[in-house]
Amino acid sequence: MLADREKILPGDDVWIPTVCAGCYNCCGILAHRVRGRIVEIKGDPEAANSRGYICAKGLVRALDVHHPYRVTRPLKRTNPEKGIGVDPGWKEISWDEAMDLVGRELERIRAEDPRKLILSHFDIAGYRLSGAFGRAFGTVNMHWNRADYCGSASHPAWLITNGTLNSEVDFERCRYVVLWGTQLGHMVNTISLTAAAGLAEGRRRGHKLVVVDPFCSHAASKADEWLPIKPGTDGALALAMLHVMVCELGVYDVSFLKHQTNGPYLVRSDGRYLRDGATGKPLVWDLKDGCAKPFSDATLADPAIEGKFSVAGATVRPAFQVLKDYLATIRPEEMARICTIPLERIRRITREFCTAASIGSTIQIDGHTLPLRPAGIDFKRGMAAHRGGWNSCFAIHMLNLLVGAVDVPGGQRGVNPVGPYWSAGVSEDGLIIPSDFIAKYNKPYPGRTAAPPQTLDLQELFPAALFTRGLYPLGIDEPEKYGIPYRPEMMIHCRTNHMMNSHDPAAMAETLKKLKFQLSISLFIDETTEFADVVLPDAHDLERWDMFPANDPYAFIAPGPGQWYFLLRQPVAEPPGDAAPWTQIYLELAERLGILETVYRLGNAMWNLSEDCKLDPKRKYTMREIAELQVRSIFGTDFDMGRFARSSCAVLRPKTVQEAFPRMFLPSRVPIYLEYLLGHKQDVQKVLEQLGMQWDLSCYSPVPLWIPCAAHADDPEYDLIATNNKVPTHQFSTTTENLWIDEIAQANPYTYSVMIHTSAAQRRGLKSGDLVRVESRYGSYTGRLQVTELVHPECVLSSGTFGHWAKGLPISAGKGVNHNALLPKPTLDRIDILSGQIDMCVRVKVSKVGE
Amino acid sequence: MARYGMVIDLKRCVGCNACAAACKSEHNTPAGVFQTKVLEKEMGRFPDANRVFVPVLCNHCERPVCAEVCPTGATYKRADGIVMIDYEKCIACLACIEHCPYRVRTLVRDRRTLYPDGRTPFEKPVHQKIRDNVVTKCDFCYHRVEQGRPPACCEVCPTSARVFGDLSDAASKAARLAREYAGWPMMPEQETRPCVLYIG
C-alpha cells in the first residue's frame, strides 16, 4: 500500500489546516478534530484566499465525512444486468480481490488497445496525476466529465486573449461591472470568497453592477440593473452593443487597438492576412511612411486600423476595419427583438459602459503609468452553454477588448496568465498564447490540426476547442460512425455523475451499458456508480493529501495585485474502513501495471517539479511525498513543511505589477479578428469529407456571429424555453447529501422549485405549489411550481442538479428537479461546432399533474 | 456595561446563507430549526423585479416582549443586553412565540438531526444543549462573546455584512456603521428597541 496515514497531524483536540473541496475554489480552512472525529470547519484566517471566511457549502462538510451511507468496503456487482433501478446485487469483497479484478481488466485491454480505457473524473486537483496515468497507460480518452457544464465555450475566449483559463474583473478599481450569465462574487463560480468580498466593497463604494440573466439570480438581485434576456440570445445583445459602441457612438480605444491587438493586421478579400513575402509575417499599413510593413517591423510608427489600402495590386483592409464594416451590417433593432431587451436600454447601457471605460485615462502603479479602464464584463456558463456559445463569448469579450479594458487596472482580467513559474507566450503572428503550464492539454490558439477522430470525445474534429468532454457519449455509442478505430471497453470513474449531469438519463444508461467494465471509486452509490462492476471506497477530501498547489493557479489564486500563495491539502482524519484516496488508487494501479516509472517521468513535467525535486523512477512515492516535492519545487528545498501545521497557505512573495496587470508588459498582441479560424475551417471541412459527414462550419468566423439555438425555432406545442441557474448553497450535485444544506435549500422558496413567470402561469391556470410536469421532446421532470416575477416570461427555470433517485443518496433523493433530464444526447444542432459546448436550453411544455 | 448588538449591511449581503450554515454548525440546532436565516422577498414586477435578502435573527430587544410574557423566567435579558433562554426553565407554553413580533423563536419537538435511516452519527459538543419541548432562538453566541470572539454568523460572513459589537461604545465598528449609515431596527412601531440594526 502506498498509504501515508501515519503522517496525519496528531492531537486529541486540534484544528488542522487544509483545503476545502466543497467546490473547486480551494479555500483554506481549519478542520476541528476531536478524538479522531472531524466535528466542525471554519475559514483559515491565515489563508490568503479565505482570510478566515468560508461559505455555507464548505462549512457544513464535517457532516459528509460521517454520512452513514458512505461506501467503506470494496464491492463487486453480482447482477450482470445494468440499468436505472436495477439492483446491482453488491457483494463486499476484499481490497486485494477488487484490485485483482480491476488489474486483470486493465492488463487485458492495455494489451489489446489501451485507448479502450476511459478515465473519468471532475477533481481538478488530480487532473495532472490522472493525465500522467492516462498517457503512461496509452489512452487518449481522458477526463470524461461535465466540465462543459461551465466552460467549453468561455475558456477559449480567455485563453486566446488573456492567455489564461479564467476571468475576473478588477473589483477594486472597476466602476462599471457587468456580469453576463455568471454570478461571480456571489458565492458561485471561481475565486468565490475574494470575489464576494471585492464586489461587496465595490457596492459600498458605489460602482454600478449590471447583470444579464434570464433569471433574477442572486447576482441580478444585487445588481443596479437586471437585464432579463431571453435564454441563449446573448450573442444578439452583444452584437447590438458592439454596433452601438463602434457605429453609433464611435467609441473605441484607438491606441490599444493599434499597439495591443491585431486590429492593424491587413486582411485580404478572402478574410486571410496579407503576409510579407519574405518573413511570412502579417503586414500592417504604416500611416507615417505610407507603406505596408510586417507588424514587428522596428520602423513601424503609426499602424492604420481603419481605411482601405492597396498593396501589390490587392485591396486590403486592417482587421479592425473589417470588423467595423461587419458591425455596420448588424441591425440593432433586429438584435433587440431577438434578445427581448429594448433597444433604447441597450443604447443607454452601452453608452454608460463606454463612458465608464474612460478611454485615455491612466493610473500610476509602482512607478508605471498604465491605462485605467474602470469598466469590465465577465461572462460564463449561463450565456456560453448554447449552440453559438463560442461566438457569443467572443462578441461579449469584444466589448472589453475594444475599450482596452483587458488585463489593465480597472477592467476585465485573466486569472494569472503570468506567474512565478509560467508566462504567456507569443505566436509567430505576434498574438498571445497561454503557457504550456496554463494550457495543460490543448491551446485553442493556435489550435491543433483537424484529423479523423481517435478520441471518443471527437476532439480531433474541434481543432480550436479547449475540450469537448460532453461529446463522449457520441464516441462511446457509435465509434465507427466517426471513424474511431476501436470500441471503448472500460472506464475508471470517480467524482462525477454522468447520469445526472449530462442529458436524458435513459440515453446515458445505454451509453454506460456499452462499457464492459466500470470501476467506480466513490463516496456514495450514486446514479452512475450503480452501473459499476467494481466499487472502491473513496476517501473524502478531508481524508487525503493532495497535489500542491491543491488547485491550479490559473483559476483559483485571486488575480491582480496581492501575493503568490499556494495551499496544501492534508488529511484531517483517517478514511473509514478500506477507503483510500482515488489518487492513491491510481498510483497503486500504475504500480500493478508496471507503468509507475512512466507516470513519474510524465508527472515530473506535469507538476513542474524542479531539477532537485524530480521523482526518482527507482523509488516509490506516496501522495504526501509527491506533494512535498511540489512544495519544495516552488518554495525551495529548505522549506519547513512544519509550517503547514499552522496554516495550509504558504506565501511565496508579493506579485509584481507586471504579474498583476500584465497586458502592457507582454510582448504579444490580443486578437480582435480570428483569422486563424479560417485555416481550421478548411482542415475540418477536408476531414468531414473523408468521413462522409456534413457539418455547418459557418461558426468558424473571424468576426463574431449571432447563431440561434435549436430552442429558438418555433414549436407551438413546446412553448417555453427551459434553463437552470446556480445557487450559492449548492455545487453541482456534490452538496446534495448534506443535511444542513438540504435544510437551508428546503427553507428557500426557489432552490428546489420549478419557476415560471406569473403571466405564463396564468395562461395555464397554474399556481405556486402545483405539482407540474416539465416536458421536452427528449425528457421530463416533475416538480413543485413557484410562480414568480423573477424569471423571463418565455422561460422555465430550475436550480442546480437535483432530483436524485439513487438508493445510496437518501437525503437528496426526490428533492428538486434535474434540468439535464430535459436534454437529448447531443445532436449536431445542439452542439457548438467550434468549441464542443453543449447547448443547455431546450423547448418545453408545462402541465399540472397534481396539487 | 456593554450593550451588544449587530449591524447587518443589506448592501453587502448576497444571500449566500453562510451565516445560517455557521449557526447550524455552532449550535447543532435541531432539524429544520434556524436561529438565523436569510429571508428572500420578491419585489416589483418583471422586468423591474428584484429579490431582497434579509438576514434575520433574535433582535435582542432592549424591551424584550418575550421576557415580559414568559411565565417561568426562562427568557431573560442579561446585563450586557443578550436575551437568553434557560432551557431548564422553559415549559414550551409558547407565549413568547405568540408575542415576539419578529417570529424568530421556534418550538423544538425533537432536538435531533437524523439521517433518513434514523441514525445520528455526528454530534458536535456544543455549549448549551437544546432539549426536546423547549423554545429556542439566537443567543448571540454568548459563549464566544464571553471569550472575545464574534458570533459564528459574523465570523463566517464572506462579505462582512454582519458586524457584532458594543452599540454603547461609539468607537466600535458596529456603532460606527449604525451611525454613519443611519441604521434602522425592524418594526420600530413595536417599541421593542431591537439591538439588531440594518443598514443598506
pLDDT in tens, A732-767: 878 999 999 999 999 999 999 999 999 999 999 999
Q: What residue spans define the domains of chain B?
A: 4-116+123-199
Task: List the single residue in B22, B26, B158 with the smallest CB-CB distance to A197.
Answer: B158
Residues linked to residue A772 through DSSP beta bridges, in sequence order: A783, A848
Q: What is the dihedral of CA A539, A540, A545, A546, to 10 degrees?
A: 110
Query: Chain B: nearest CA to A185, how far in angstroms?
Result: 9
Q: Which residues of B touch A788 (CB under 8 A)?
A: 42, 49
Measured CA to CA, the distance from residue B18 to residue A52 in angstroms comes to 13
Subunit contact A743:B156, Cβ cutoff 8 A: no
Q: Which residues of B touch A196 (CB under 8 A)?
A: 14, 16, 158-159
DSSP E strands in chain B: the ranges are 4-9, 36-43, 50-57, 75-77, 83-85, 106-108, 134-136, 162-166, 196-199
Measured CA to CA, the distance from residue A171 to residue A206 in angstroms comes to 11
Measured CA to CA, the distance from residue A325 to residue A794 in angstroms comes to 33
By CB atoms closer than 10 A (0-12, 13-18, 19+), residue A851 is: exposed
Subunit contact A221:B9, Cβ cutoff 8 A: no
pLDDT attached to residue A165:
92
Take residue A617 and report the three cell numbers written for it. 523512477
- Specify the DSSP class assigned to residue A715: -
DSSP E strands in B20-166: the ranges are 36-43, 50-57, 75-77, 83-85, 106-108, 134-136, 162-166
Amino acid at A293: K
Query: Chain B: nearest CA to A51, how far in angstroms?
Result: 9
Q: Which residues of A touch B115 (CB under 8 A)?
A: 67-69, 739, 810-811
- pLDDT of chain B, 200 residues: tens digit per residue: 899 999 999 999 999 999 999 999 999 999 999 999 999 999 999 999 999 999 999 999 999 999 999 999 999 999 999 999 999 999 999 999 999 999 999 999 998 888 888 877 666 777 778 899 999 999 999 999 999 999 999 999 999 999 999 999 999 999 999 999 999 999 999 999 999 999 99
| Residue in A790, A795, A805 to test binding to B, most B beta-carbons within 10 Å | A790
Residue A1 pLDDT > 50: no
Confidence of residue A2 (pLDDT cuts 50, 70, 90): very low
Take residue A95 and report the three cell numbers written for it. 481490497
Give the residue-averaged pLDDT of A377-386. Answer: 96
Helix, strand, or coil here: A378?
strand
Residue A28 pLDDT > 50: yes
Subunit contact B16:A218, Cβ cutoff 8 A: yes
Residue A278 pLDDT > 50: yes
Residue A71 pLDDT > 80: yes
Subunit contact B158:A757, Cβ cutoff 8 A: no
Nearest to B178 by CA among B199, B148, B164: B199
Subunit contact B14:A811, Cβ cutoff 8 A: no
Give the residue-averaged pLDDT of A221-249. Answer: 98
Task: List the single residue in B14, B44, B156 with the smallest CB-CB distance to A43.
Answer: B156
Q: What is the per-residue pLDDT across A813-828, written as a single tens digit (0 to 9) for each?
A: 989 999 999 999 999 9
Which residues 6+ apart lie within 8 Å of A369 measured at CB?
A: A362, A363
Nearest to A828 by CA among A696, A685, A700: A696
Confidence of residue A147 (pLDDT cuts 50, 70, 90): low
Confidence of residue A3 (pLDDT cuts 50, 70, 90): low
What is the C-alpha radius of gyration for chain A, rounded to an integer number of angstroms? 26
Mean pLDDT of chain A, nearest integer: 95
Q: Is the dihedral of CA A542, A546, A550, A554 positive or negative?
A: negative
Subunit contact A203:B37, Cβ cutoff 8 A: no
Subunit contact A55:B22, Cβ cutoff 8 A: no
Which residues 6+ apart lie within 8 Å of A731 measured at CB?
A: A22, A23, A57, A188
Q: Which residues of B touch A56 (CB under 8 A)?
A: 16-18, 20-22
Task: List the single residue in B50, B117, B160 with the smallest CB-CB distance to A200.
Answer: B160
Task: List the single residue in A63, A728, A758 with the smallest CB-CB distance to B122.
Answer: A63
Give the residue-averaged pLDDT of A514-518. Answer: 98
Chain A residue with CA closest to B157: the answer is A53
pLDDT attached to residue A688:
97
Q: Which residues of A touch B47 (CB under 8 A)?
A: 226, 228
| Residue in A183, A184, A213, A222 to test binding to B, most B beta-carbons within 10 Å | A222
Q: What is the per-residue pLDDT across A616-637, written as a single tens digit (0 to 9) for each?
A: 999 999 999 999 999 999 999 9
Chain B residue with CA closest to A37: the answer is B122
Query: Chain A: nearest CA to B82, how far in angstroms?
Result: 24
The answer as to CATH 3.40.720.10 being correct for domain B4-116+123-199 is: no
Chain A residue with CA closest to B21: the answer is A56
Nearest to A440 by CA among A837, A813, A755, A134: A134
Give CATH for domain A5-68+541-574+609-660: 2.20.25.90
> Contact at 8 Å (CB) between A305 and A263?
yes
* B contact set with A (CB within 8 A): 9, 11-12, 14-18, 20-22, 24-26, 31-32, 34, 37, 40, 42, 44-47, 49-53, 113, 115-117, 119, 121-122, 124-125, 155-161
Task: List the single residue in A53, A203, A744 with the smallest CB-CB distance to B156.
Answer: A53
> φ, ψ for residue A570 (rounded to 5)?
-130, 155
Task: List the single residue in B42, B119, B159 with the smallest CB-CB distance to A200.
Answer: B159
Measured CA to CA, the distance from residue A776 to residue A825 in angstroms comes to 13
Nearest to A820 by CA among A528, A538, A540: A528
Give the residue-averaged pLDDT of A304-310. Answer: 98
Nearest to A215 by CA among A204, A207, A223: A223
Measured CA to CA, the distance from residue B31 to residue B122 in angstroms comes to 13
Query: Chain A: nearest CA to B1, how far in angstroms?
Result: 29
Alpha helices in A414-469 (DSSP H): 436-439
Task: List the single residue in B12, B24, B45 with the smallest CB-CB distance to A203.
Answer: B12
SS3 breakdown of chain A: % helix, strand, coil, rounded to 5?
35, 20, 45
Subunit contact A196:B124, Cβ cutoff 8 A: no
Element (H, E) at A773: strand A771-775
Subunit contact B125:A39, Cβ cutoff 8 A: yes
Residue A521 pLDDT > 70: yes
Report the share of chain A in percent with pLDDT over 90: 92
> φ, ψ for residue A670 (rounded to 5)?
-105, 135
Which residues 6+ apart lie within 8 Å of B77 measured at CB?
A: B60, B64, B67, B83, B84
Measured CA to CA, the distance from residue A465 to residue A448 in angstroms comes to 9
Q: Which residues of A touch B149 (CB under 8 A)?
A: none
Chain A residue with CA closest to B41: the answer is A749
pTM over 0.95: yes
Task: List the single residue in A222, A790, A793 with the smallest CB-CB distance to B14.
Answer: A222
Measured CA to CA, the distance from residue A406 to residue A161 in angstroms comes to 8
Give CATH for domain A710-850: 2.40.40.20
User: Would you give the distance in Å from CA A441 to the centre of its chain?
Assistant: 14
Residue B1 has a CB neighbour count (10 Å cut-off) of 9
Alpha helices in A415-533 (DSSP H): 436-439, 472-477, 498-501, 505-513
Give the residue-averaged pLDDT of A694-723. Answer: 97
Element (H, E) at A62: helix A62-65
Query: Chain A: nearest CA to B123, how far in angstroms?
Result: 7
pLDDT attached to residue B126:
76
The helix-helix angle for A343-357 and A234-243 (nearest 10°) equals: 60
> φ, ψ for residue A430 (rounded to 5)?
85, 10
Residue A433 pLDDT > 50: yes
Take residue A496 and report the three cell numbers written for it. 462525477
Pairing of strands A795-799, A720-725: parallel
Give the residue-averaged pLDDT of A397-415. Answer: 98
pLDDT attached to residue B121:
67
> Contact at 8 Å (CB) between A234 and A792?
no
pLDDT attached to residue A436:
87
Measured CA to CA, the distance from residue B153 to residue B183 in angstroms comes to 19
Subunit contact A197:B45, Cβ cutoff 8 A: no
Of the listed ranges A150-154, A201-205, A476-480, the least confidently predicted one is A150-154
Query: Chain B: nearest CA to A166, how far in angstroms?
Result: 21
End-to-end CA distance of chain B: 28
Chain A residue with CA closest to B38: the answer is A748
Q: What is the per-residue pLDDT across B129-180, written as a single tens digit (0 to 9) for each?
A: 889 999 999 999 999 999 999 999 999 999 999 999 999 999 999 999 999 9
How many helices (DSSP H) and strands (DSSP E) are in chain B? 6, 9
**Beta-carbon pairs below 8 A across chains A and B:** 156
Q: Which residues of B touch A66 (CB under 8 A)?
A: 121-122
Buried b (16+ CB within 10 A) or exposed e, A360-378: eeebeeeeeebbbbbbbbb
Which residues 6+ apart lie within 8 Å of A301 measured at CB?
A: A286, A287, A288, A289
Distances (CA, A) of A755 to A183, A207, A587, A768: 19, 30, 46, 9
Q: Which residues of A touch B46 (CB under 8 A)?
A: 228, 757-758, 789-793
Q: What residue spans define the domains of chain A?
A: 5-68+541-574+609-660, 710-850
> Contact at 8 Å (CB) between A180 and A379?
yes
Residue with cell 487596472: A409
Helix, strand, or coil here: A342?
coil
Query: Chain A: nearest CA to B87, how far in angstroms?
Result: 23
Task: List the single residue in A56, A204, A740 with the smallest CB-CB distance to B16.
Answer: A56
Query: Chain B: nearest CA to A188, how far in angstroms?
Result: 9
Task: List the single residue in B21, B31, B46 with the smallest CB-CB distance to A56.
Answer: B21
Distances (CA, A) of A214 to A155, A162, A409, A784, A793: 22, 27, 30, 20, 9
Q: Which residues of A touch B11 (CB under 8 A)?
A: 200, 203-204
Subunit contact A200:B161, Cβ cutoff 8 A: yes
Cα angle for residues A458, A461, A467 (degrees, 5° grid):
60
